[in-house]
Amino acid sequence: MNKSDAERMYGMLEHIGYTQTDEPKEADMLIINTCSIRQLSEDKAYSQIGVWGKIKKSKPDLKIVFAGCVAQQGGKNILKRAPYVDLVLGTQRLYELPNLVKRIETGERVVSIEEKPFEESEIQINRVKGVNAWIPIMEGCNNFCTYCIVPYTRGRERSRKPELILAEVKKALSEGFKEITLLGQNVDSYGKGVNETQNGFEISEGKEFGKDLQGNTINLAWLLRQINAIEGKFRIRFVTNYPTDITDEVIDTVIELDKVCEYFHIPMQSGDDYILKKMNRRYDYATYKKICDHIRSRVKDVTITSDFIAGFPGETEEQFENTLKAMTELELDYSNTASYSPREKTVAAKWVDLYVPEDVKTDRLARLNEHNRACCLASNKKYLGREMEVLIENFEVRKNGDKVITGRTRNNKIVHIPCNRDLRGKFINVRITNARTWYLNGELV
Ligand code: SAH
Ligand code: SF4
């Protein structure tokens, strides 16, 4: 989501005369787009602007913009804490950036963190040329998992207008992109958002887009069908799914539509029923397993990945071991892992008495990662000897002179292939010759 927001910022700024530079010391304006999902990323953001503050001492006209989730949380306190910051840009005010930049150019210092989405205009996104285009379809979250800051930093669920999404997809395809990834905190909620100000509707909780001209309900499955109908060879993915919100209609699109890939990212967070309840997740382990088994039984070669948190407040050794068991039992193909990080405002952060000691969290995270590695390797081994379609994303000449292309299969496995030609953006057939923990080796067929 941050990568996509950053692309949007570049796109807007190019329209008002800015160009991109990789050298902070030469820039007229520096923007940090922050993440606050865990304490570490927040700390990094503040330490980075500290460095930029020093640059500004010898370059007083330099403008510094603090954007994203940490900005949303910190608001005007950021101007106090970091007096060299010119603009604090909240997550729902992204599209206001060009107007705000004009104001800071005249010397004003501005905080814009209102929890009211700034209307999106038909801006043209100037994407850095590549293979994969990340396109947001919905934003925000209504779930309030007790550990998570997202509902506080990104606001309530709201969906982008289908016309804007489809226009953006077509533009990306016309520029040569070959894979479209639809983004959202909960993509299954597409169409159900609260903010339809962009569509001329008034804001009302739970309001749906309604129907298209043929009377079909506008939801994720509908959107996938619209995008799949666009001509040309390309792939479609979507992230992230909330386990119990995945519909059969969406699973059907993966089976029926040629462009929609066999890949689901379905965060489980914990394999223990008590902890899941404490996390305010709306499922228990048996329910998650049922969903996972159902998808695996319907979609051939599907990859299912997940997210897990180690050391949630009150988690016992036994409860943690249930997570390890779940990972293995469900044969998860890959998982993102993190140790629990208390976040301001969230419910679980208040359970200080139940905090798991740092050394225990570190130990559990290490064991979680160990398990994850074993699951990944086992998953990769399933594809040994198979012929798979790979979309090439990288071409690299290694220090020893070897030339290697790297890409992903439809089910999101990374494959390295020796090849002298730069085949970026091409779909090629590859035979899998070796399975490593994080990737596969293959050869052209
Ligand atoms: N909407 C997605 C997750 C978005 S946040 C979902 O519901 O599954 C991405 C991941 O960050 C989460 O899945 C969770 O595993 C992790 N995360 C969120 N808050 C965290 C915290 N306080 N400490 C550690 N990890 C956290
Ligand atoms: Fe929303 Fe929970 Fe996902 Fe956070 S982890 S974004 S609260 S569903």
**Distances from the Cα of 178 to the Cα of 166, 233, 236, 240, 420, angstroms:** 15, 7, 9, 20, 21
CA nearest ligand 1 atom 3, residue? 185
User: Fold for domain 2-112?
Assistant: Rossmann fold (3.40.50)
Q: How far is CA 246 from CA 115, 222, 263, in A?
A: 28, 14, 13
Domain spans of the chain, in order of start: 2-112, 132-381, 387-444
Q: What token pair was written down for 436?
A: 């490593």
CA 445/CA 431 separation, integer angstroms: 6
pLDDT score of 193: 53
Instruction: Give the C-alpha separation, 59 to 295, whole Å.
Output: 56
Q: What's the CA angle centered on 136, arms 133 and 139, to 5 degrees?
A: 160
Q: Which tokens is 35 given?
A: 């993440």
**Cα–Cα–Cα angle for 380, 386, 392, nearest 5°?**
75
Cα 208 to ligand 1 centroid, rounded to whole Å:
26
Task: Give, to the nearest 10 degrees, the angle between helix 358-381 and helix 317-329.
Answer: 10
Of the ligands numbered here, which is closest to the C-alpha atom of 280?
A: 2
What SS3 class is residue 305? strand
Pocket lining: 244 vs ligand 2, CB cutoff 6 Å:
no
- CA 130/CA 424 separation, integer angstroms: 8
At 25 the three-state DSSP class reads helix
387-444, CATH topology level: OB fold (Dihydrolipoamide Acetyltransferase, E2P) (2.40.50)
Distance from the alpha carbon of residue 246 to the mean position of ligand 2, in angstroms: 15
**φ, ψ for residue 318, nearest 5 deg:** -65, -45
> Ligand 1 mean position to 20 CA, how many Å?
31
Cα–ligand 2 centroid distance for 145 (angstroms) = 6
Distance CA 205, CA 192 (A): 9
What are residue 88's DSSP bridge partners? 66, 111
* CATH superfamily assigned to domain 132-381: tm_1862 like domain (3.80.30.20)
Phi then psi dihedrals of residue 368, to 5 deg = -60, -45
Number of residues written out for the chain: 445
Cα separation, 428 vs 388, in Å, equals 8
CB 186 less than 6 A from any atom of ligand 1: yes
What integer pLDDT is reported at residue 121 of this predicted model? 72
Q: Could you say which DSSP state residue 333 is in? A: S
DSSP states of 65-98 as a string?
EEEEHHHHHHTTHHHHH-TT--EEE-GGGGGGHH
Mean pLDDT in consecutive groups of 10 residues from the start of the chain, 445 residues: 90 91 93 96 95 94 97 96 96 94 96 87 76 93 96 90 91 96 96 52 46 84 97 98 97 98 98 98 98 98 98 98 97 98 97 98 98 98 98 96 97 98 97 98 97
Q: Cβ distance 150 to 184 under 8 Å?
A: no
pTM across the whole model: 0.93
SS3 404: strand
Is residue 264 within 8 A of residue 295, CB to CB? The reply is yes
Tokens 């390797």 belong to: 377
Q: Which ligand has the nearest atom to the CA of 146?
A: 2
Task: From 402, 380, 405, 381, select the one nearest 392 (Cα to Cα).
Answer: 405
H/E element, 317 = helix 317-329
Note the ligand closest to the C-alpha atom of 343: 1
DSSP 443: E
Query: Would you say 98 and 15 are in contact if contact means Cβ atoms under 8 Å apart?
Result: yes
Find out whether the beta carbon of 341 lies less than 6 Å from any atom of ligand 1: yes
Give yes or no for residue 38 CB within 6 A of ligand 1. Answer: yes
State the pLDDT at residue 394. 97
Q: Is 242 in the pocket of ligand 1 (CB under 6 A)?
A: yes
Distance CA 30, CA 49 (A): 9
Largest CA-CA distance found in the chain, in angstroms, rounded: 63
For residue 268, the SS3 value is coil
